Structure 1
Amino acid sequence: MCGIIGISAKADVSNDILTCLKSLSYRGYDSAGIAIVGDGQISERKIKGKVSNLEDYIKNNPISGNCGIGHTRWATHGEPNTINAHPHTISKISIVHNGIIENYHELKTTLKDNGVNFISDTDTEIISQLINIELLNNKQPLDAFVHAISKLEGAYAIAAIFSDYNNLMIASKVGSPLVFMKSKNKTIISSDAYSIAEFGNNVTYLEDGDMLMSQNNKIHIFDRALNKIKRPSKRISKRTKDGLNGHEHFMMKEIKEQPDVLSYALSNYLDFTEFEIKESKFDFDFSNVERIIISACGTAYFAGMVAKYWLENIANIKVDLEIASEFRYKKMFFDEKSISLFISQSGETADTLAALKYAKQNKQRVVSIVNTEESSISNESDLVLPIFAGQEIGVASTKAFTCQLATIASLVLYLAGLKGAITKEQTETYIQELMHIPSQILQSLEFEPTIKKISKDIYKSSSALFIGRGSTLPLAFEGALKLKEISYIHAEGIASGELKHGAIALVDKNLPVIVLAPDDLFYVKNLSNMNEVYARSGKITMIGKVDNEHLKDLAINGIDIDITGKFNIPIIMAVPLQLLAYHVAKLKNRDIDQPRNLAKSVTVE
């Protein structure tokens, strides 16, 4: 994921910026750069590749100044090259940016129509150009910055410096993380506290919509209406230095990272500039494939269930789905028109690896979806599709699951286009919908206070049901798994239509029933099933389209995730289920990151 650094100080800041960029390298990147203000001008150095390449470049082409910004980039718009690397400098303004500007096309078209010439292919340059226009209209830097970012849609963190102001930095965030630290001699802003921990003991976390202005080591924070506000500073804890970034548990940290990691998972396979699929990422002959056999375990198996739904309904490809531990003990009907797809976070899951080897023994070509590229499953595969979730430490998978779905969605779009199941225009529409996923996840995270309250109705229960249909049926299974993994409450996921075939016998006033009912073709049927539960006094929590006149008189808990889109629904709806499991487990004082009897990588059969 992209990393942002900004430093203003009484001395030269170039070495400190490079030091911080090295600390941000764990987030992943394909280019790096810095920009420094000195003597009334902005000097820029950027390069494709590692921070060490940038460091060597600067040794041979030194720059210095008391205020600067730095960036490690993971490409979302435009190729990973020097021109597209950050910072992006236009005249007297230079910025770095993390996130995706969703209305990039509309803004760029408007600017081009007004005679603006673009240097790069990035969405970031849009921001530089917008701020520059405001400066040319004689606005002061803060006003120019505010007016420019008010036009942006999406999740982002931005930091800017100005050539006419040697020690001025302005920054803001919506969705993407941004923190700052103030010491006697310098002010530092960063994407995370971990990268700047060596410079001090206290950091302040900006909230969405906040704007920070630092000049001559004096800091002001404003809200969207430019009212001055204060944010509390926090001592950098051992949790931050250990990589928790201030969160109590890795699971919560990883839940909150999903807008960022999904941006990069999706942008690895999809071009959000031209709304095209990056076909080179799928270097495999799929031309004669008529059937895909998917195999996985646990959460990855539920990702496979979603994959089956998408592949059959969007790409018109027949799918067989197998639990990996059962795979090699069954009579499998392999043929030359089938391939095997294996899904594993670690790439080392023993049952999945054994199933893969069994498939290869039967002359099957193998595609794998993994988080760890250097792994046994990767090494045995003909095509590896990394999910780019970054290291996941919490045993209960969160961001790896949604990144698996994002990667699968990209594969499905590629195959659907290859097979002629969807048109070019439909592909563009799907990609535009997928581009909104990071901001939609941000919106779903805003329901955390509501989910905390709902958790209090559930944590004393001995059992729970999760029900769904279509692409949310796998989410019902996944939600139940999350709850039982970390809270130790028995939970079961079932198809909504199967309620009356047995499970409804369990329903009484003590049984929590989580109903997954998004605005899709199953919505009315899901409401009907929910009413069956309500009539039997079940404790209902509905996640989906809650704002409905048919529900206004029902005493139910509601989390209003009102989204549409075949790809978007299961990805977004995973997040409230993760939060629900987390807060129930926290109320029960469980070991959330390391639940009993479980391991992150299951390397025995």
Structure 2
Amino acid sequence: MCGIVGYIGNKKASGILLNGLSALEYRGYDSAGIALLNDRIEVIKVKGKVADLVSACLSAGSELNGTIGIGHTRWATHGKPSKENAHPHATKDFAIVHNGIIENFKEIDDFLIKEGYKKSSTTDTETILLLVDYYSKTLSTFEALKKAVSVLKGSFAIALIHLNEEKIYATKKESPLLIGLKNDELFLASDLSAFLEHTKRFVVLEENDIAILEKNGTFEIYNDGNKVERLVKSVDWNLQTAQKGGYKHFMIKEISEEDEALANTIYAHMQSDKIELDIDEDLLKNVKKITIVACGTSYYAGLTSKYFFENLLSIPVIVEIASEFRYSKPIFSDNSIFIAISQSGETADTKESLNLAKELGIKTISIVNVQESTIARLSDYVLYTL
């Protein structure tokens, strides 16, 4: 899932943002970037790892002196992994980062095109940016952001900066966003791990909050046009505890987030209120047998899906452990499909099982977390989980 960081204070922001993004790497991502406020908005972003972004920032050198900035690690939903689609997105006056999925971005794009706007990416995030820019022609930045998010359908956490304002604007709906507090400095992040080395005091933004973070360490939060107060909290966590979100271990965290992960995965394939999969429709309509192969907890996910497929489709579903399947002589009938499940997309036994199915001429689908992983590349079709 995507990760957001932000900093406003009296220190050089670039290092703080990069360290924050490093702490969010565990969430998974395919690209990363930062935007800093100087005499212009300086954006540096890469397709690849935070380490690649660090190298790009080192090359930029003295240009990165701003004390206000936002950053992002992106896991592609709308738009392929690329430098152009990486966040932040920027105009001359604004820069934005976004976590979530905007369901009606194409309709908004159509409106913006009629108003003379042209996108440089294929993301829903740039749609938000241009919509804010459009409304800012007649409204303040705060009111423009408020107006823009009222139009959005879907989930979002947003951080926004303006060239001529020493502020960070932030808002959220169904995606987490926290403000870290430390004297005359403020931090912004998707979770505590991004700013835990600096402060353990924070505020959790609630649904439809819009926050304005000031350079003197003060902030205001509004909801439905009214100024509101949110409880200042504190934790006694280390980085690993924060990454686990307060859960005892990662396993229970993943179990608790199943509904969110499923919803995000489905939203990524929503087109005009319908689920659109980039898989041959005739293949799906004519399938007579499904073989699912995986290891570990992915295997148990396959066992669970077996009951859904068989009840809904009335066709046989075989679920096999990859370490056994790869050494077997599987029997596939006509119109069979093979589904490989792997969180990393690199599970060795699952990969070899996939190769075996391909050697036998069976169409393959993979369900993985990681873009451009080996299993994703080998498969005929791939569905990414979020």
Q: Which TM-score bucket, shorter chain as reference?
A: 0.7 to 0.9
In the TM superposition, 1:16-415 aligns within 5 A as 16-39=16-39, 41-62=40-61, 63-137=64-138, 139-165=139-165, 167-216=166-215, 217-237=217-237, 241=241, 243-247=243-247, 253-254=253-254, 257-258=257-258, 261-262=261-262, 265-266=265-266, 270=269, 277-279=277-279, 290-294=288-292, 300-310=302-312, 312=313, 319-322=315-318, 342=320, 352-353=321-322, 356-357=325-326, 360-362=328-330, 367-382=339-354, 383=364, 385-388=366-369
3-state DSSP of counterpart to 2:96: strand
Aligned residue identity for 1:25: E
Distance 1:257 1:158, change over 3 A: farther
**1-side partners of 2:349 and 2:264: how far apart?**
22
3-state DSSP of counterpart to 2:132: helix
* Structure with the higher helix share, 1 or 2: 1
Contact 1:372 1:386 in 2 (8 A): no
Distance 1:258 1:9, change over 3 A: farther
In the TM superposition, 1:437-476 aligns within 5 A as none
3-state DSSP of counterpart to 1:105: helix
Distance 1:246 1:172, change over 3 A: farther
**2-side partners of 1:257 and 1:186: how far apart?**
31
3-state DSSP of counterpart to 2:128: helix
Distance 1:295 1:75, change over 3 A: closer
Aligned residue identity for 1:381: S
- Displacement of 1:267 in angstroms is 7.4
3-state DSSP of counterpart to 1:170: strand
3-state DSSP of counterpart to 1:64: coil
Deviation by residue 1:110-168 (Cα, 9 ceiling, x = unmatched): 2212222222111011111111112211x222112111111111111000111001x30
Distance 1:220 1:110, change over 3 A: same
Aligned residue identity for 2:133: N
3-state DSSP of counterpart to 1:373: coil
**2-side partners of 1:246 and 1:86: how far apart?**
28
- Displacement of 1:81 in angstroms is 1.0
Residue equivalent to 2:360 = none
Distance 1:372 1:132, change over 3 A: closer
Aligned residue identity for 1:308: E
- Displacement of 1:64 in angstroms is 2.1
- Displacement of 1:58 in angstroms is 1.2
Contact 2:161 2:168 in 1 (8 A): yes
Residue equivalent to 2:358 = none
- Displacement of 1:387 in angstroms is 3.7
**1-side partners of 2:322 and 2:300: how far apart?**
14
Deviation by residue 1:233-278 (Cα, 9 ceiling, x = unmatched): 222435973533235675664355346534664578x485997534
**2-side partners of 1:308 and 1:361: how far apart?**
23
Contact 2:292 2:338 in 1 (8 A): no
**2-side partners of 1:120 and 1:242: how far apart?**
33
Once the two structures are overlaid, the 10-residue window that deviates more, 154-163 or 128-137, is: 128-137
3-state DSSP of counterpart to 1:177: coil
- Displacement of 1:376 in angstroms is 4.5
**2-side partners of 1:106 and 1:286: how far apart?**
29
Contact 2:6 2:187 in 1 (8 A): yes
- Displacement of 1:17 in angstroms is 0.4
3-state DSSP of counterpart to 2:315: strand
3-state DSSP of counterpart to 1:198: coil
Contact 1:239 1:245 in 2 (8 A): no
Aligned residue identity for 1:15: G
* Structure with the higher strand share, 1 or 2: 2
Sequence identity (%): 30
Contact 2:179 2:187 in 1 (8 A): yes
- Displacement of 1:14 in angstroms is 0.6
Distance 1:110 1:295, change over 3 A: same
Contact 1:239 1:246 in 2 (8 A): no
Query: TM-score normalized by structure 2?
Result: 0.80
**Greater Cα radius of gyration, structure 1 or 2:** 1
User: Tell me, which stretches of 5 or more residues in structure 1 are unaligned?
Assistant: 313-317, 325-341, 343-351, 390-406, 416-430, 432-436, 439-605
- Displacement of 1:101 in angstroms is 0.5
**2-side partners of 1:35 and 1:255: how far apart?**
34
Query: CA RMSD, aligned part only?
Result: 3.5
Contact 1:77 1:123 in 2 (8 A): yes
Query: TM-score normalized by structure 1?
Result: 0.53
Contact 1:75 1:264 in 2 (8 A): no
Distance 1:254 1:239, change over 3 A: farther
- Displacement of 1:288 in angstroms is 9.2
- Displacement of 1:173 in angstroms is 0.9
Aligned residue identity for 1:386: I
Aligned residue identity for 1:154: G
**1-side partners of 2:213 and 2:127: how far apart?**
23
Deviation by residue 1:337-396 (Cα, 9 ceiling, x = unmatched): xxxxx4xxxxxxxxx2465246x324658542233433354133225623429xxxxxxx
